[in-house]
């Protein structure tokens, strides 16, 4: 994730100032930070189209080595415009996903209406595993994620066993899928607010 928002100091572009100011007000951020993120977004949009394609995001330097790159890009593009088979991710849509990683204020931790609240951070993590985007996680998806993390060279049987065990552990209602509620329950033990926050976005 860090690679997507890394600081990039091009010359400033006044063209976007009104929109950036509106976004800063909407998200209660400083205008300076929004405009830095805008510059970063513009550098991802290599041909200055005014929007990004999956290809743009997939070639972000540093991110190409991330085993989850396809998932990260997919989650960003769930917010994108789709017209005539072309997907366009605009800055405001990009920002909305990036802001999930904003450190959350104490009073907002449990506020589901805040994009960066604990539950919305957990939801992002859940979507990483939900490879077919159907809203639930199967054992095969857990296995798929394991393969992504360790690469294809590890003994598949062993990974299947791990996936099987993980599913048994979380699957309270024994329906062979991990619901969001079941996932959120195991994530209670994880310091999500810390782990899924990027200081730059404060």
Cβ nearer to Ca ion, comparing 61 with 168: 168
Residue among 58, 62, 13, 61 at smallest CA distance from 38: 13
| Residue of 173, 181, 188, 194 interacting with Ca ion (CB under 5 A) | 173
With binding defined as CB under 5 A, does residue 132 bind Ca ion? yes
With binding defined as CB under 5 A, does residue 130 bind Ca ion? yes
State the minimum distance, in angstroms, from the CB of residue 1 to Ca ion: 22
Residues 37, 22: Cα–Cα separation, whole Å: 14
Please choose, out of 11-19, 51-59, 128-136, 158-166, the segment that lies near Ca ion by the rule CB under 5 A. 128-136
3-state secondary structure of 80: coil
Q: Provide the token pair at 134.
A: 């159907």
Cβ nearer to Ca ion, comparing 30 with 176: 176
Cβ nearer to Ca ion, comparing 13 with 134: 134
State the minimum distance, in angstroms, from the CB of residue 128 to Ca ion: 11
Residues 176, 148: Cα–Cα separation, whole Å: 21
Residue 57 · residue 68 · CB < 8 Å: no
Residue 60 · residue 68 · CB < 8 Å: no
**178 beta partners:** 137
State the minimum distance, in angstroms, from the CB of residue 89 to Ca ion: 23
Which positions lie near Ca ion, rule CB under 5 A? 130, 132, 134, 171, 173, 175, 179
């Amino acid at each position: 994730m860090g690679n997507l928002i890394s600081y990039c100091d091009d010359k400033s572009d006044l063209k976007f100032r009104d929109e950036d100011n509106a976004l800063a007000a909407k998200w209660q951020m400083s205008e300076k930070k929004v405009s830095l993120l805008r510059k970063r977004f513009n550098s991802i949009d290599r041909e200055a189209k005014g929007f990004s394609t999956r290809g743009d995001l997939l070639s972000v330097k540093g991110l190409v080595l991330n085993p989850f790159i396809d998932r990260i890009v997919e989650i960003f593009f769930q917010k994108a415009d789709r017209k005539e088979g072309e997907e366009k991710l605009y800055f405001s849509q990009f920002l909305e996903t990036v802001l999930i990683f904003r450190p959350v204020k104490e009073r907002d931790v449990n506020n589901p209406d805040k994009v960066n609240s604990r539950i919305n951070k957990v939801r992002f993590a859940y979507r990483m595993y939900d490879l077919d985007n159907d809203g639930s996680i199967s054992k095969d998806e857990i296995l798929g994620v394991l393969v992504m993390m360790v690469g294809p060279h590890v003994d598949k049987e062993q990974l299947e066993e791990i996936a099987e065990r993980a599913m048994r552990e979380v699957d309270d209602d024994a329906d062979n899928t991990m619901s969001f509620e079941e996932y959120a329950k195991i994530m209670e033990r994880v310091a999500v607010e810390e782990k899924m926050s990027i200081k730059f976005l404060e």
